[in-house]
Amino acid sequence: EVQLVQSGGGLVQPGGSLRLSCAASGFTFSNHWIHWVRQAPGKGLVWLSNSDRNVAHIFTVDSLKGRVTISSDNAKNTLYLQVNNLSAEDTAVYYCATFVGGRFDPWGQGTLVTVSS
């Protein structure tokens, strides 16, 4: 089955950092771009960033620039999103999704990040 499996969410203190994982299962990232989207509780979807598997081409929204690091482990078919200096406004479910051929699919199951003291 083609799917993305996410991990790494949890409770983080303000000012802290979190690294989220997005692992491909049933396919390789070879021609895919990975996109990151988040959704604050009860709110809409917000696109954050995208990257190719080699992390050679990255675009990040202005609101996160300087706080985001994207990395990859091609041997594990996994991409990582690290967000630093977290605040309560970063509390959200974070999703990864692949993009190829005009299609954003599949999506990961999402991982909840809660920023609170």
Q: Does 50 bind another protein (CB under 8 A)?
A: yes
Interacting residue with another protein among 7, 40, 47, 55 (CB under 8 A): 47
Q: Does 66 bind another protein (CB under 8 A)?
A: no
Number of H helices, E strands in the chain: 0, 11
3-state secondary structure of 56: coil
Write down the least CB distance from residue 75 to another protein, Å.
26
Q: Does 8 bind another protein (CB under 8 A)?
A: no
For 48: left if phi > 0, alpha if psi spans -120 to 50, otherwise beta; the answer is: alpha
Q: Cα 41 to the chain's mean position, in Å?
A: 17
Choices 9-17, 68-76, 84-92, 101-109; region in contact with another protein by CB under 8 A: 101-109
Residue count, binding to another protein (CB under 8 A): 21
Cα–Cα distance, 38 to 93 (Å, whole number): 5
Write down the least CB distance from residue 43 to another protein, Å.
9
Closest CA to 112 of 37, 24, 11, 5: 11
Residues of this chain that bind another protein (CB under 8 A) = 35, 37, 44-48, 50, 59, 61, 95, 97, 99, 102-105, 107-110
